Amino acid sequence: MTNSEHLQWLHDRIVNVYGESENVDFLIKFREIIKDIKDEEDIKYIKENLMKGLSKDIPKDFLTNYEI
């Protein structure tokens, strides 16, 4: 389970088990944090696969502006 998946599980538990509204400020912010972490995980996955040569169709300079 990735960090973003675990955080999403926590978010869903707060909403579905404890009955908190999805529209409260801390859950809105929580979803933004989850999205940022998921984006970073996706970029890291793509970079790792480029290094292994599994994604040769993606130009290497495509990811040069991203830091992990």
Rounded to whole angstroms, how far apart are CA atoms 9 and 5?
6
Residue 61 pLDDT greater than 90, yes or no: no
The answer to the question of residue 44 being in a domain is yes
- Residue of 35, 34, 40, 33 whose CA lies nearest to 63: 40
8-44 residue pLDDT tens = 999 999 999 999 999 999 999 999 999 999 999 999 9
The answer to the question of residue 59 being in a domain is yes
How many CA atoms within 13 Å lie on the side-chain side of 19? 0
Check residue 6 and give its pLDDT: 97
State which residues form the domain around 55: 3-63
Overall domain count for the chain: 1
The answer to the question of residue 47 being in a domain is yes
More confident residue, 2 or 59: 2
The answer to the question of residue 68 being in a domain is no
- Residue of 7, 33, 36, 31 whose CA lies nearest to 21: 31
